[in-house]
Amino acid sequence: MGGVSMTAPRIVRRDGATVLTFPFDRWLVDALKAEIPGYARTYDPDTRAWTVTPAYAGVAIPAGHVHLLLGQERAPSRRS
């Protein structure tokens, strides 16, 4: 079937890196890009997974947990 499948949210450790998969969420993608430099993260469009180097796991895991806990809700904006 040619439809777009939903990606179940999850956070796993693989070979020391942190791998996050989740349905597209602009807030979380923007948060990951703002907090984790490009050299420390990759995105695989085939698996819809973000892989973050071990040095930035402390940033990626809390961001992913916030997303999992909020579900479809959005976190408040950090802008003043």
pTM above the 0.75 mark?
no
Q: Is residue 43 part of a domain?
A: yes
What is the average pLDDT score of the chain? 75
Q: Is residue 42 part of a domain?
A: yes
Assigned token pair, 57? 């796991």
Residue 2 one-letter amino acid: G
Domain count, the chain: 1
Domain range holding 26? 10-70
Q: pLDDT tens digits, residue range 34-58?
A: 889 999 999 999 999 999 998 888 7
Q: Is residue 60 part of a domain?
A: yes
Q: Is residue 53 part of a domain?
A: yes
Mean local confidence (pLDDT), 3-26: 79
51 three-class SS:
strand
Closest to 62 (Cα-Cα) out of 32, 23, 22, 26: 32
Q: Is residue 1 part of a domain?
A: no
